[in-house]
Amino acid sequence: MTSPAVRRLSEWDAERLRGLASEYGTPLYLVDLDRVRENAARLQSAFEFEDLSYAVKANTTRSVLETLRDAGVGAECASAGEVKRALDAGFDGADVRYTAVNPPDRDLDFVVDEADADLVVTVGATDTLDRLADRGYDGRLCIRVNPGVGAGHHEKVATGADPKFGVPYDRAPDLAREAVGRGFELVGLHAHAGSGISGDDLAAHRELVARMGDLARDVIADTTPLDFVNVGGGLGVPYREDEAPLDLRAVAATTREAFGDADATLGLEPGRYFVADAGVLLTRVNTVKPTPETTVVGVDAGMTTLIRPALYDSYHEIRSLAPDGDDREAVTATVAGPVCETADVFGTGRSLPAPERDDLLAVGNAGAYGYEMASQYNSRPRPAVVALEGENDSVAVRRERLDDITELERW
Ligand code: LLP
C-alpha cells in the first residue's frame, strides 16, 4: 500500500501550523520528513527496477539529504557545493553524480580531489573532458547528451533542446569513442528534458527516453559496455488544488517501454517530486489594503523567500489559517511581499477569507526550489527551516539575523 500521490495544502493541520508559527516565527519553511520518505517510497515502488537518484538542487537541507540517503537513493549534484553537502550528509561516493554544466575550475578541482570517493562526473562538452584530463581525472565518466527534445512548466526550465546542455545527439557516439580512446572509464549516458513535466510533456519525455535507448545500443555495440543511462528528472507535481497528480506507474511503464532492450540500467533523477508537497511556507499578514482593484494583502515573506512566482509566474496555493476563517466573507486578494519590486507577488485574484492583520497564511508546495532559491536581496535575512517528523519538530536551518547580512563584508 503506497501513500497518496499528492498531499494537498488543505490537508495540513491548521492548528499545528499556527503553533509552529508562534513558536518559531515567520516567515518559516516547514519540511515534513515523513512525507519526503513517502514520496521516495512511491517512486521506488513505481520505478522498482530502475536506479533512482535525488536531484539535490531541489532542497539541500541536511535533514532532507539524510532522509533520502537513508531511503537508499543516490544524489545528483550540480556543483561542488552540492557534492560536498551530499558527501557530508553521508551519501556513499559511489552513489553521487556531479553533472557539470560549464563547470568553474574550482568545481572541477574539488570533484577531482574527491574522485577516490568513486563518484561519477557527467560532462556535456569536449572542453570539460579536456579539463578533466588536464587534472588527471581517472574516475567514472558519463556523457550528457542534448536529446533535441525539451519540456517543462516554463520555457526557463526546459533544458532538453537548449544547446547549453549536453553534446549534440549526433556527436555523442564520437565523443564516447574519444573518451574511451583517451582512457576514461565511460560508464553512462545522461539527458534531461526539463522540469515540471506533466500532461502533454510526457510525449517529449517518452521521445527522449527512446532516443537515449537507441544511442545506448549504438555506443554499447560500437564502443563500450555501459552501466547506466540516466534520463534525468522533471516529474511534475500538481501545484493547483484541483490538478491531478502524475500516474507514476503509467510514467514508469512508458519509460521502460520507450527505453527498449539496451543493456544498461535505466536511471532517473527527480528533484521536485521527492520534496515539493513535503514543504509549506508560513507567512504572516502585516498589511491589509483595500483598493478599487483588489485587496492587497501584505505579508512578511516575499520573492526573497520564495522566488518561483516572480521568476516563472508559478502558481502556489495560498491558504488562510485564521481560526475563524470559515466565518468570514471571502474577498479577492493580491498577496504581496515586502520587496520593492513589482514582481514581488505570490498570487493575484486569490479568494481568501477577509484577511486581517496578523493572520497566518500557508503557501503550498514550497518544499522544492523554495528555501533553496531564497536570497538576501533587499538585505533581508533568510527564514528558518523547521523539520517535522511524526509529532516532533526541530530547527533544521536557523533563521538568519540582521548581522548575518553583513558578516562577509571586509570593508
Ligand atoms: N537533473 C538535472 C540534470 C537537472 O538539471 C534537474 C533540474 C533535475 C534533474 C531535477 O529536475 P526536477 O525533477 O526537480 O524537475 N528552479 C526551477 C526548477 C529548475 C530545475 C533545474 N534542473 C523551479 O523552481 O521550477
Q: Is residue 110 domain-shared with residue 72, that is, in the same domain?
A: yes
What is the tens place of the pLDDT at every residue in 287-321? 999 999 999 999 999 999 999 999 999 999 999 99
What is the tens place of the pLDDT at every residue in 248-261? 999 999 999 999 99
Number of domains in the chain: 2
Q: Is residue 155 domain-shared with residue 284, that is, in the same domain?
A: no
20 secondary structure, DSSP code:
H
Residue type, 227: D
Asked whether 398 and 61 are in contact (CB, 8 A), the reply is: no
Nearest CA to ligand 1 atom 22: 195
Residues enclosing ligand 1, CB less than 6 A?
55, 58, 76, 99, 157, 159, 192, 195-196, 232-235, 269-273, 308, 312, 369
Residue type, 11: E
CATH code for the domain in which residue 283 is found? 2.40.37.10
Helix (H) or strand (E) holding 174, with range, is helix 172-181
Q: Is the residue at 38 inside a domain?
A: yes
Q: Is residue 112 domain-shared with residue 213, that is, in the same domain?
A: yes
Q: Is residue 246 domain-shared with residue 335, that is, in the same domain?
A: no
Q: Which conformational region is residue 102 in: left (phi greater than 0), alpha (psi within -120 to 50 degrees), or beta?
A: left
Q: Is residue 148 domain-shared with residue 181, that is, in the same domain?
A: yes
Asked whether 356 and 382 are in contact (CB, 8 A), the reply is: no
What is the tens place of the pLDDT at every residue in 13-53? 999 999 999 999 999 999 999 999 999 999 999 999 899 99
Q: In testing the pocket of ligand 1, which one of 57, 277, 307 has its CB within 8 Å of the most ligand atoms?
A: 57
Q: Is the residue at 104 inside a domain?
A: yes
pLDDT of residue 1: 57
| Residue range(s) defining the domain that contains residue 357 | 277-405
Distance 55 CA to ligand 1 centre (A): 7
Asked whether 309 and 391 are in contact (CB, 8 A), the reply is: no
> 148-158: b or e for each residue (b if 16 or more CB lie within 10 Å)?
ebbbbbeeebb
pLDDT of residue 151: 85
